[in-house]
C-alpha cells in the first residue's frame, strides 16, 4: 500500500521559491577536476581513439578529484546526484542539503545498478536465459541491499528495451527479443529492487528505461532513429514498460532516440498521454544523460531553452546533467514562458519519490559501517554463482560434456584468464579483482589444466581443449554497436589449431550479444554460451563443465548466421513468399534462411520428450496441457515454452508468439503434465484504428523446448 504525501507536497511547494523548485529538477553528475586540461568526455574520447593509453587514463583518473558543486547545493540548486558511489560522500552531501539549505529538502542519489553493485551477477541478457522470475527478483534484491548500503536511493534499471538486432551493443543490458519475457523480467526486477516498503533502508527505487523502443534503433546503430507503426509499438515495445509501471516502478527514463521524428525526451504523447494518462504513472521521469540539451542536436529545438521548455511541458521532470533546466527554467517560469503549474507538476513528482523513500524522515539511510559490512557477502556470491549456472546456455554437445573428473584441460584464450572481463558492461562499481576467472577456479579447485597463451605451443598431453572466445566487455553496452558480429579471425584460427589435435574441443563463449558463429557451430563439437557471467564466472563454468550442475538455460535472443541477417527474430511474420527453396521467396542469396541457434534453444545433459498436447477452449481462454518426460539418464530442468499463432487476422500476425512458459525439474525417467492457461486477451492485437481486438478464427498452438521443435495443434475460436 503506497502512502499519500500530496498534502506534504503541496505545503512544501507553497514555501519554495522558483529557484528552489528548479533546483529539485537538477541531477548533478560530479565533474572531475584533475591534472588534465581537457573535459572528461574529451578524455574518454582520447582513450577510445588511442591518443592516450588506458594506463595513462587510469593514472589521470586516480589524481582527479570529484567536484560536487557544494556551493550550488547550498544554494538549493541541486536536487539529486548521479554517479555517487560511497556512503561517506553521500552522507556529507546529504548533510549539506538537509542542514545548510533553506528548506532542508533531502537529496536523491541515482546510480546504474544494472546487474549487481559489488556482487556482479550475469549481464541481464545472460540472466534472462534462466527464464526464472524468482531468480531475477532475488538478484535484484541483493543488488539493492549492497547499493543502498553504498548510498544509492534509485537505480537506473531495469532496462527493458526489446531488441532484435544483435549489432546493437545494448542488447546486453536487457532481456532479449521477446515481449512477454522482457515484461516479466522487468516486473521481477522492479519488485526485487524496491522490495515491499520503499521507506526501508535497503529499498531502492527502480527507474525503468529506456522509454521507448530504443532497441529498435535503425541498423542496430546506437542512438539512431526509430520509426514504426503505433501497432508495432504497442504490441512489441511498450508492454515491458507498462509491466514495470504496473509493478510499481517509481521512475521512468525516456530514451535518447526519437520515435517517428519526436525525441522521447520531449514527447508529450509518450511521457504524458501514454505514461501518465493511459498507464496512470505517478512517479518521476528523469532524462537520460544530457538528453535534454541534445534535443537541439536532434533538430527538434532551436536552443537549450526551447528544449527545456519542450521537455518539461512534455512531462520530463528531472534533467540528468545537461543543465538545460538549471540554466533556463528560472527565467522562463518567471517571465511566463513556462507556467508555474507545469513547473510545480514536475517538482511534485520528484518530491513524491523522495517522500516515498522516507528521505524526509530518514535522509541518512546508510553509514560507512553498513557499507563496509554489506558488500560481497558469501550468500551474495553463492546467489551470483547460481544465477551464472542458470544463465549459461549449452548450445551444442556432441558427446563431449560433461567432462569426467581428472581429465587434463588445455585452456586457451585470454578471456579464460581475465577476471575484469567477467563483469560485462555496466558494472561500474565492480572491481574486476572480485571476479573468479576460469583459470582462477581451476587453480582453486585443483583442476589438472594447462593455460595456453598466444606464445605457448599447444601442449599435446591434454585430454580436452577449451577455447575462450567472444568479446571483451567494452564490445557491448552503450555506444558499442558492431557492424560485424562474427568471431575475429584469430579466434577461429585458435579453434582450428585445437581441432587439429584430434582431441575434443569446447568453444566457451564470453560475449554481451548474440554472435554469428556458423563455423563454430559446424566444426566445434561442444559450445557453451557463458556470456559475461559476473563475480562467480569460473566456479559456475567449472560446475557446468564437470556436470555438478546440469545446464538448463535457453536463449532469449536469436543467434544469427551472419551480421547481414540482423535484425532476426522468431516472432516474425510469414510474408506472402516465406523463405524457401524457390527463387522468388523472402531470403538471401548468400546466407541460409535460418539462424544458427533459434530463440528458446538450449541443451541439457539429459533429453526431454514431449507428448499428448491437448488444447481446450474455455470461457476465459484456452487451456493447454502437454506431457514432458525426462528421457535421459540424469536429472534435469526443462523450460517448456508455449507459443501461439493467429492464422488469419485484420493485420498479419507473427508466425509464433510466446504466451507462457514453465520451468520444471525432472528426475531421469520422470514425466509431468504441464498445463498453461492462455487468456484470450493475450492473443489479441491492434487493428488499423488502434482498437485492441481479440477475434474468433483459426489459431495454432505450439509447445516445445525451443521456438522451432514444437508439438502443435490447430483449433478454431
Ligand atoms: C547513459 C545511459 C543510461 C544510464 C545513464 C546514467 O547514457 O544511456 O542507460 O542510466 O547514462 O549513467
To which H or E segment does residue 700 belong?
strand 698-704
Q: Is residue 318 part of a domain?
A: yes
Q: Specify whether the CB–CB gap between 320 and 288 falls below 8 A.
A: yes
Distance 291 CA to ligand 1 centre (A): 10
Distance 271 CA to ligand 1 centre (A): 18
- Atom of ligand 1 at shortest range from CA of 156: 10
Contacts of 32 (CB under 8 A, 6+ apart): 40, 61, 64, 65, 66, 67
Same domain, 303 and 389: no
Continuous segment of H or E residues that includes residue 510: strand 505-510
pLDDT at 18 over 80: yes
Residue 1 confidence (pLDDT): 55
Question: To test ligand 1's pocket by mutation, which of 41, 156, 217 has the most ligand atoms within 8 angstroms of CB?
Answer: 156
- pLDDT value at 144 more than 90: yes
Domain harbouring 313, CATH code: 3.20.20.300
| CATH number for the domain harbouring residue 657 | 2.60.40.10
The total of structural domains in the chain comes to 4
Indicate which residue's Cα is closest to atom 12 of ligand 1: 112
Cβ atoms of 360 and 354 within 8 Å: the answer is yes
Q: Minimal CA–CA distance to 541: which of 419, 706, 450?
A: 419
Query: 383 in a domain, yes or no?
Result: yes
In the reported structure, the alpha carbon of residue 117 is separated from the centroid of ligand 1 by a whole-number distance in angstroms of 15
Atom 3 (ligand 1) nearest CA:
288
Please name every residue paired with 397 in a beta bridge, in sequence order, or none if there are none.
526
Is 575 inside any structural domain? no
Do residues 483 and 632 both lie within one domain? Answer: no
C-alpha span between 388 and 233 (Å, rounded)? 32
Q: What is the pLDDT of residue 250?
A: 98
- Residue 308 makes CB contacts below 8 A (sequence gap 6+) with 292, 319, 324, 325, 327, 328, 329, 332, 338
Considering the domain architecture, whether residues 403 and 547 belong to the same structural domain is answered as: yes
Predicted confidence (pLDDT) at residue 50 exceeds the cutoff of 90: no
Q: Is 288 a catalytic residue?
A: yes
Please give the distance, rounded to the nearest whole angstrom, from the Cα atom of residue 412 to the centre of ligand 1.
35
Q: Are 365 and 153 in contact (CB under 8 A)?
A: yes
**156, 284 in Cβ contact below 8 A?**
no
Cell of 298: 536532434
Is residue 279 a part of any domain in this protein? yes
169-190 mean pLDDT: 98
Whether 455 and 421 share a structural domain: yes
Q: Given ligand 1 and candidates 161, 286, 289, which is best to mutate, with the most ligand atoms within 8 Å of its CB?
A: 289
Size (the chain), residues: 717
Residue 89 placed within a domain? yes
Atom of ligand 1 nearest to the CA of 159: 9
pLDDT at 480 over 80: yes
Rounded distance, CA 419 to CA 535, Å? 8
User: What is the reported pTM?
Assistant: 0.97
Gap from CA of 475 to ligand 1 centroid (Å): 17
Task: List, for residues 612-629, the tens digit of each pLDDT value.
Answer: 999 999 999 999 999 999
What's the 482 CA to ligand 1 centre distance in angstroms? 19
Which CATH number belongs to the domain containing residue 428 in this structure? 3.40.50.1700
Q: Quick one: 614 and 549 in the same domain?
A: no
Asked whether the beta carbons of 600 and 679 are under 8 A apart, the reply is: no
Q: Determine whether 472 is exposed, middle or buried from the number of CB atoms within 10 Å of its CB (0-12, 13-18, 19+).
A: middle
Three-state SS sequence of 399-465: CCCCCCCCCCEEEECHHHHCHHHHHCCCCCCCCHHHCCCHHHHHHHCCCCEEEECCCCCCCCCCCEE
Last residue of a domain, one of 321, 351, 376: 376
Question: Which atom of ligand 1 lies at the shortest distance from residue 210's CA?
Answer: 9
Q: Quick one: what percent of the chain has pLDDT higher than 90?
A: 92
Domain that holds residue 61: 32-67
Task: Pick the range with the lowest mean pLDDT from 19-33, 406-420, 637-651, 657-671.
Answer: 19-33
Which region, left, alpha or beta, applies to residue 69 given φ > 0 means left and ψ of -120 to 50 means alpha?
A: left
pLDDT of residue 47: 79
Nearest CA to ligand 1 atom 7: 289
Confidence of residue 453 (pLDDT cuts 50, 70, 90): confident
Q: How far apart are CA 228 and CA 436, in angstroms?
A: 43
What's the gap in Å between 335 CA and the centre of ligand 1? 33
Rounded to the nearest angstrom, the distance between the alpha carbon of 289 and the centre of ligand 1 is: 6
Which ligand 1 atom is at minimum distance from the Cα of 112? Answer: 10
pLDDT cut 70: percent of the chain above it = 98
From atom 6 of ligand 1, which residue's Cα is the shortest distance away? 289
Which pLDDT belongs to residue 454?
Answer: 80
Rounded to an integer, what distance in angstroms lies between the CA atom of residue 547 and that of residue 686? 47
Q: Is residue 475 part of a domain?
A: yes
Q: How confident is the model at residue 314 (pLDDT cuts 50, 70, 90)?
A: very high
Q: How far is the CA of 283 from the centre of ligand 1 (A)?
A: 19
- Determine the atom of ligand 1 nearest the C-alpha atom of 290: 7
DSSP codes, 555-591: -SS-B-SSGGG-S--SS----SS-S-SSSSSSS-SSS
Q: Give the pLDDT band (50/70/90) at residue 17.
A: very high
Distance (Å) from CA 320 to ligand 1 centroid? 9
Ligand 1 atom 8 nearest Cα: 288
CB distance 640 to 686 below 8 Å: no
Residues 270 and 344 in one domain: yes
Same domain, 415 and 489: yes
- Could you read off the pLDDT of 534-552 as tens digits, one per residue? 999 999 999 999 999 999 9
Output the CA–CA distances (angstroms, integers) from residue 215 to 165, 219, 291, 309, in the order listed. Answer: 8, 10, 17, 27
Residue whose Cα lies nearest atom 11 of ligand 1: it is 289
Average pLDDT of the chain?
96
338 in Cβ contact with 332 (< 8 Å)? yes
Residues 365 and 422 in one domain: no
Ligand 1 atom index nearest CA of 173 = 9
Which of 565, 589, 624 lies at the terminal end of a domain, its last residue?
565
Catalytic residue among 288, 319, 434, 660: 288
pLDDT of residue 32: 64
| Same domain (yes/no): 448, 552 | yes
Q: State the Cα–Cα distance between residues 99 and 85, nearest whole angstrom.
A: 21
Residue pair 174/180 in contact (Cβ under 8 Å)? The answer is: no
Same domain? For 309 and 405 the reply is no
Residue 64 clears pLDDT 90, i.e. is over it: no
Nearest CA to ligand 1 atom 1: 289
pLDDT band at 461 (very low <50, low <70, confident <90, very high): very high
Cβ neighbours, 10 Å, residue 340? 13
Mean pLDDT confidence for 638-661: 98
State yes or no: pLDDT of 122 exceeds 60: yes
Distance 437 CA to ligand 1 centre (A): 28
Pocket test for ligand 1, best of 83, 288, 291 (most atoms within 8 A of CB): 288
Pocket test for ligand 1, best of 40, 217, 478 (most atoms within 8 A of CB): 478
> Is residue 415 located within the same domain as residue 556?
yes
Q: Which of 594, 603, 598, 587 is closest to 658 using CA atoms? A: 598
Ligand 1 proximal residues by C-beta, below 6 Å: 82, 112, 156, 209, 288-289, 478
486 and 557 together in one domain: yes
Q: Give the pLDDT of residue 52.
A: 82
Residue 597 in any domain: the answer is no
- 14 contact partners, CB below 8 Å, separation of at least 6: none
- For residues 241 and 247, give the distance between their C-alpha atoms in angstroms, rounded to a whole number: 10
* Residue 529: inside a domain: yes
Indicate the top mutation candidate among 112, 157, 285 to test ligand 1's pocket, ranked by most ligand atoms within 8 A of CB: 112
Between helix 54-63 and helix 40-48 the angle, nearest 10°, is 160
Three-state secondary-structure class, residue 544: helix
Supply 479's cell numbers.
Answer: 555506444
What is the enclosing helix (H) or strand (E) of 640? strand 636-646
> How far does CA 219 lie from the centroid of its chain?
20
Amino acid at each position: 500500500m503506497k502512502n499519500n504525501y500530496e498534502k506534504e507536497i503541496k505545503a512544501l511547494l507553497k514555501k519554495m521559491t522558483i529557484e528552489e523548485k528548479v533546483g529539485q529538477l537538477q541531477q548533478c553528475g560530479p565533474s572531475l577536476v584533475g591534472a588534465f586540461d581537457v573535459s572528461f568526455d574529451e578524455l574518454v574520447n582520447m582513450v577510445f581513439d588511442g591518443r592516450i593509453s588506458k594506463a595513462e587514463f587510469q593514472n589521470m583518473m586516480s589524481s582527479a578529484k570529484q567536484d560536487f558543486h557544494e556551493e550550488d547545493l547550498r544554494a538549493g540548486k541541486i536536487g539529486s546526484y548521479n554517479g555517487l558511489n560511497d556512503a561517506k560522500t553521500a552522507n556529507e552531501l546529504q548533510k549539506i542539503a538537509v542542514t545548510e539549505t533553506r528548506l532542508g529538502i533531502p537529496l536523491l542519489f541515482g546510480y546504474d545498478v544494472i546487474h549487481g553493485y559489488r556482487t556482479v551477477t550475469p549481464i541481464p541478457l545472460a540472466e534472462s536465459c534462466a527464464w526464472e522470475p524468482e531468480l531475477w527478483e532475488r538478484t535484484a534484491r541483493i543488488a539493492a541491499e549492497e547499493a543502498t548500503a553504498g548510498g544509492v536511493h534509485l537505480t537506473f534499471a531495469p532496462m527493458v528495451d526489446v531488441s532484435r538486432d544483435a549489432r546493437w551493443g545494448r542488447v546486453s543490458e536487457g532481456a532479449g527479443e521477446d515481449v512477454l519475457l522482457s515484461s516479466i523480467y522487468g516486473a521481477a526486477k522492479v519488485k526485487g529492487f524496491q522490495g515491499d516498503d520503499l521507506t526501508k533502508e535497503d529499498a531502492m527505487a527502480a527507474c525503468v528505461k529506456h522509454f521507448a523502443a530504443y532497441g529498435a534503433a535503425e541498423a542496430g546503430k546506437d542512438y539512431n532513429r526509430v520509426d514504426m507503426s503505433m501497432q508495432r509499438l504497442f504490441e512489441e515495445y511498450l508492454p515491458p514498460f507498462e509491466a514495470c509501471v504496473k509493478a510499481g516502478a517509481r521512475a521512468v527514463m525516456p530514451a535518447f532516440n526519437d520515435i517517428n521524428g519526436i525525441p522521447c525526451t520531449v514527447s508529450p504523447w509518450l511521457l504524458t498521454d501514454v505514461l501518465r494518462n493511459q498507464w496512470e504513472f505517478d512517479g518521476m521521469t528523469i532524462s537520460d544523460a544530457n538528453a535534454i540539451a541534445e534535443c537541439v542536436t536532434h533538430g527538434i529545438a532551436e536552443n537549450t531553452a526551447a528544449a527545456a521548455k519542450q521537455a518539461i511541458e512534455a512531462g520530463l521532470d528531472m534533467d540528468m546533467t545537461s543543465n538545460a533546466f538549471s540554466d533556463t527554467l528560472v527565467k522562463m517560469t518567471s517571465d511566463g514562458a513556462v507556467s508555474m503549474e507545469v513547473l510545480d507538476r514536475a517538482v511534485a513528482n520528484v518530491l513524491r519519490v523522495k517522500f516515498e523513500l522516507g528521505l524526509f524522515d530518514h535522509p541518512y539511510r546508510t553509514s560507512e559501517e553498513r557499507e563496509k559490512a554489506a558488500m560481497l557477502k558469501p550468500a551474495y556470491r553463492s546467489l551470483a554463482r547460481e544465477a551464472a549456472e542458470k544463465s549459461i546456455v549449452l548450445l551444442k554437445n556432441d558427446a563431449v560434456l560433461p567432462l569426467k573428473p581428472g581429465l587434463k584441460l588445455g585452456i586457451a584464450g585470454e578471456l579464460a584468464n581475465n577476471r575484469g572481463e567477467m563483469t560485462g558492461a555496466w558494472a561500474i562499481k565492480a572491481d574486476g579483482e572480485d571476479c573468479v576467472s576460469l583459470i582462477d577456479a581451476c587453480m582453486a579447485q585443483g583442476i589438472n589444466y594447462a593455460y595456453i597463451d598466444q606464445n605457448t605451443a599447444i601442449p599435446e598431453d591434454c585430454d580436452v581443449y577449451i577455447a575462450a572466445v567472444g568479446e571483451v566487455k567494452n564490445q557491448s553496452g552503450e555506444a558499442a554497436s558492431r557492424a560485424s558480429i562474427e568471431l575475429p579471425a584469430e579466434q577461429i584460427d585458435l579453434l582450428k589449431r585445437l581441432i587439429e589435435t584430434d582431441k575434443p574441443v569446447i568453444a566457451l563463449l564470453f560475449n554481451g550479444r548474440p554472435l554469428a558463429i556458423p563455423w563454430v557451430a559446424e566444426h566445434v563439437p561442444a559450445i557453451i554460451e557463458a556470456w559475461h557471467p559476473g563475480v562467480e564466472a569460473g566456479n559456475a563454468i567449472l560446475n557446468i563443465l564437470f556436470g555438478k550442475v546440469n545446464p538448463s538455460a535457453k536463449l532469449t535472443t536469436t543467434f544469427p548466421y551472419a551480421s547481414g541477417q540482423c535484425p532476426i527474430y522468431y516472432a516474425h511474420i510469414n510474408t506472402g513468399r516465406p523463405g524457401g527453396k524457390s527463387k522468388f521467396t523472402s531470403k538471401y542469396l548468400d546466407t541460409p534462411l535460418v539462424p544458427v541457434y533459434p530463440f528458446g534453444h538450449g541443451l541439457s545433459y539429459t533429453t526431454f520428450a514431449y507428448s499428448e498436447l491437448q488444447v481446450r477452449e474455455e470461457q476465459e481462454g484456452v487451456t493447454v496441457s502437454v506431457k514432458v518426460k525426462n528421457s535421459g539418464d540424469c536429472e534435469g530442468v526443462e523450460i517448456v515454452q508455449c507459443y501461439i499463432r493467429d492464422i488469419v487476422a485484420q493485420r498479419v500476425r507473427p508466425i509464433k508468439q510466446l504466451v507462457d512458459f514453465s520451468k520444471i525439474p525432472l528426475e531421469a525417467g520422470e514425466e509431468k503434465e504441464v498445463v498453461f492457461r492462455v487468456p484470450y486477451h493475450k492473443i489479441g492485437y491492434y487493428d488499423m484504428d488502434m482498437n485492441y481486438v481479440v477475434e474468433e478464427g483459426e489459431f495454432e498452438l505450439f509447445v516445445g523446448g525451443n521456438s522451432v521443435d514444437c508439438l502443435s495443434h490447430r483449433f478454431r475460436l
